[in-house]
Structure 1
Amino acid sequence: MKPTRIVAVALLIAGSGWTLHAAQAQQPGIHRTDLLENDLGTPGREVVQVRVDIEPGAASIKHSHPGEEIAYVLEGSLEYHLEGRASVTLHAGEALFIPDGVAHVAKNVGSSKASELATYIVTKGKPLLVPVN
């Protein structure tokens, strides 16, 4: 590999790590583990699945997705605020459907770690999470 390419790759890797670190710093108490990303039979669509672990009292930023989300609570209690709807608290074993583009926030309202399995059916190539003011 040419020296120029090595430097470019090193900068890309360093920049990606910094971006990831900066994103995590904006949401203390939340850890995301990517599990699956796969194209669907419908052109331009994909499924993405992640595990989200949320410490007591921590909340996501207000955000939306370029498609639907199915949130399944694995453990603990999570309160979901969906724009235009009343808040709902889910416990382990309960699920919630979040429509395409609906702004929402998830907050751990329990006294121990809460976890969800989030499955997204989204437009391929768009950012998975879109911050909303």
Structure 2
Amino acid sequence: MMIDRRTLIRNGGAAAAGALGVTALTPAVGVAATDPTDPTSGVTRTLLQRHPSPAEGWETVQTLVEIPRGKESGWHSHPGVEVGYIARGDVLMEFDDGHALRLRTGDPFFIPSGAIHNARNVGRETTMMLSTYVVDETKPLVTTYENENRPAKPHP
């Protein structure tokens, strides 16, 4: 399914959300008030573009992720790699194996396929991350995990 970026901008990405298997795709403009009791409240993923990958069965998806001050993406994984760039802000990228990376404005990052991770805004402004995924087109873009439901990974 090809998605016209102009249509996405007009519709706030809602038209593509179902096709991507993501319910959290929301417009970046006019971010709603956040719930202080929900650590992921106010986080948005705006679809910028989506195209078939040269490899059959795979697609390339690009999003703009915005994480308000003091909030986090929530623990999640993707069915392919994520290549990203911190356009604005400070993030602590946590992984379920206990490792963490401190990322600041201008830093690139790479997340392997299936890696369970959480992006926590540790800065003073809304973080903006440009994330590009090369993913299995038959699977949802994002699989979320509650803390108690995350699969345990052995520590080296």
> Normalized against structure 2, the TM-score is what?
0.68
Partners of 1:51 and 1:123 in 2: how far apart?
20
Residue 89 of structure 1 is matched in structure 2 by 102
After superposition, give the CA deviation of every residue in 1:58-112 in whole Å (9 maximum; x if it has no partner): 0011110000001210001011002225211101110111000010000100011
Partners of 2:125 and 2:138 in 1: how far apart?
35
Residue 80 (structure 1) aligned with residue 73 (structure 2): no
After superposition, give the CA deviation of every residue in 1:6-55 in whole Å (9 maximum; x if it has no partner): xxxxxxx9xx7xx948x998731212210011001110000000001111
Residue 39 (structure 1) aligned with residue 52 (structure 2): yes
**5 Å matches for 1:3-42?**
20=23, 27-42=40-55
Which is helix-richer, 1 or 2? 1
Structure 2: which 5+ residue stretches go unaligned? Answer: 1-14, 27-31, 150-156
One-letter amino acid of the structure 1 residue matched with residue 136 of structure 2: T
Partners of 1:52 and 1:113 in 2: how far apart?
10
The percentage of aligned residue pairs carrying the same residue is: 34
Which is strand-richer, 1 or 2? 1
Residue 130 to residue 20, structure 1, CA distance change in 2 (3 Å): closer
Partners of 2:113 and 2:100 in 1: how far apart?
18
Give the superposition deviation at 1:131: 1.2
Moved over 4 A (4+): 23-26
> Normalized against structure 1, the TM-score is what?
0.79
How many equivalent residue pairs?
A: 116
What is the SS of the residue equivalent to 1:121? strand
What is the SS of the residue equivalent to 1:101? coil
Partners of 1:124 and 1:90 in 2: how far apart?
29
Structure 1: which 5+ residue stretches go unaligned? Answer: 1-12
Residue 105 (structure 1) aligned with residue 118 (structure 2): yes
Residue 122 (structure 1) aligned with residue 135 (structure 2): yes
Larger Rg: 1
Q: Highest relative contact order (Cα 8 Å, sep 6+), 1 or 2?
A: 1
